[in-house]
Structures are given as C-alpha cells and as structure tokens.
Amino acid sequence: MRRVCCDLHLRSNIRELEQTANLVRKAADLGYHLVAVTFPSDACERETRQVKSACIEVGIDVATRVDLQPNTPNELIRDLRKLRRRFEIICVLCRSKNVSRQAAKDRRVDLLNFPSTDFRGRFFDLAEAELASNSLTSLEIDMEPLLTSETWKRIRLLSSLRRETSIAEDYDVPIVVSSGASDERSMRKPTEVAIATSIFGLEKRLALDTVSKNPAGIIKRNREKLDSSFVAPGIRVLRRGKNC
C-alpha cells in the first residue's frame, strides 16, 4: 500500500497568500500528499477557503492547524474549549512543565511540540509520555531547528531528541516529524526526513511512519470526529428524518 506522505507544520503567514502558495507548491514538488498549514486562532472562514483553494490548485490535500502557546493549564483548557471544533489539528507549544503535563493528558490535543533548543526548556519525560500514551497525543519534532541552529545547539538538541524519541517508543507514543518550515529552504523530501530521523535512533519502518502513517492517522481521525454525522467512535448517523 502506498504511503501518504505528510508535513503537518508549514508555518507560513496565511495573510501572505503567495508565500503560503509557494510553500504548498514546494511540498507537492517534494512528494508530499497532505500538508497542514498553521492558522492564527482568529482566522476567518474566508482566509481558510483561500488557503484551501491554493492547495487544490497544486493538487495537494490541506488540513487546518492551530499552535497554542498557553501560559497556564487553565489558559490551555479555555483555548481547547473554544478552538477544538474549528481546526483539524491542535498543537500545543510546550514552554512550561505545568502546560506540558496538562496538554499530554488532554484528548483534545493532537501534538506536543517542544520548541526550545535548550535542554532545560524541554519537558517531555516519563510522566508526559505516560499521560500521552493514554490520550492518543503524539510527540512532534520539527526539522527546521536542526537545520538552522548553531553547531553546539544542534549537538545538544540531538541529544535531547534521542532521549525523547526513546521515551516515546517505550510508551508507544506516536512520533510525528514535520518541517516546521516558514520558507522553502527548510523543506526536505519525506524520504530525506525519514532518513534523518535515524540519528534519533529510530529504525527504518518507524522512521517512515513519522512522515506518513502517524500524521495521516491524526488527520483521518479528526476529520471523522468533525464530520456532522459523527456521534462517537464507531457510531455515525446514516440518515436523519421523521421516519428514521
């Protein structure tokens, strides 16, 4: 079966439609079948339609994504209540231990992303992994910091990523590797991204899953939940009406 290759983190400014279209076009040229574009939380329907139209023109599927950066667990809960049904992907950029713990255990969160390149600013440990394994939350790793960091920061970041991916594997937490790209220079072919994850200690099949099976599964699951016919996992409304 053909793998559906995905990049779930294109960080373009959606209000610069040409920039967004260029990123999406580059993704299609590199061999991706599905991308997620990051939207601001206040994006309107017109902006969403414009981005989706640009993706359709280049023949690539697009998902809507929001990156939450709450300062407290209560802020996160408030944002999730307001935004969960508006976006296909909810990612939490974890910048504190309290927020990362709350995000890991909340089933409304799809991705945990630790943007810090400093070991002390990364909070994915055994506790987060155990919580995430029970909530279907995935660990997301962006490639862009690895490509742009200074040598000494890159070495420290790689050390952190090896530890985090090992913990995720031990607790069966799915790993998603995305570009995190805001321009075309930070984008690579999905096979190149998968090969690069070997430096995290992932074997070939699991490395390929990080850019295909794992991210595609998130999109499929959430699109089913956001469909108007969805009632609960495995339960759908097939027909409505007085005679049903």
Asked whether residue 48 is domain-assigned, the answer is yes
What is the Cα–Cα distance from 77 to 72, expressed in whole angstroms?
Answer: 9
Asked whether residue 166 is domain-assigned, the answer is yes
The domain of 31 spans 6-236
Asked whether residue 212 is domain-assigned, the answer is yes
Asked whether residue 100 is domain-assigned, the answer is yes
Asked whether residue 243 is domain-assigned, the answer is no
Does residue 37 surpass a pLDDT of 80?
A: yes
132 vs 154, more confident: 132
pLDDT at res. 232:
45
3-state secondary structure the chain: CCCCCEEEEECCCCCCHHHHHHHHHHHHHHCCCEEEEECCCCCCHHHHHHHHHHHHHCCCEEEEEEEECCCCHHHHHHHHHHHCCCCCEEEEECCCHHHHHHHHHCCCCCEEECCCCCHHHCCCCHHHHHHHHHHCCEEEEECHHHHHCCHHHHHHHHHHHHHHHHHHHHCCCCEEEECCECCHHHCCCHHHHHHHHHHHCCCHHHHHHCCCHHHHHHHHHHHHHHCCCEEECCEECCCCCCCC
pLDDT at res. 83:
96
pLDDT digits (tens, 9 = 90+) for 182-218: 999 999 999 999 998 888 889 989 999 999 999 999 9
Work out the pLDDT band at 1, boundaries 50, 70, 90: low
The interaxial angle of helices 17-30 and 45-57, nearest 10 deg, is 40
When divided into structural domains, the chain yields a total of: 1
Asked whether residue 173 is domain-assigned, the answer is yes
What are the CA-CA distances from residue 204 to residues 83, 92, 156 (Å)? 36, 27, 23
pTM of the model: 0.90
149 vs 7, more confident: 7
Domain containing residue 33: CATH number:
3.20.20.140
Asked whether residue 225 is domain-assigned, the answer is yes
Asked whether residue 199 is domain-assigned, the answer is yes
Closest by alpha carbon to 211, among 27, 59, 32? 32
49 vs 90, more confident: 90
pLDDT digits (tens, 9 = 90+) for 58-115: 889 999 999 999 999 999 999 999 999 999 999 999 999 999 999 999 999 999 999 9
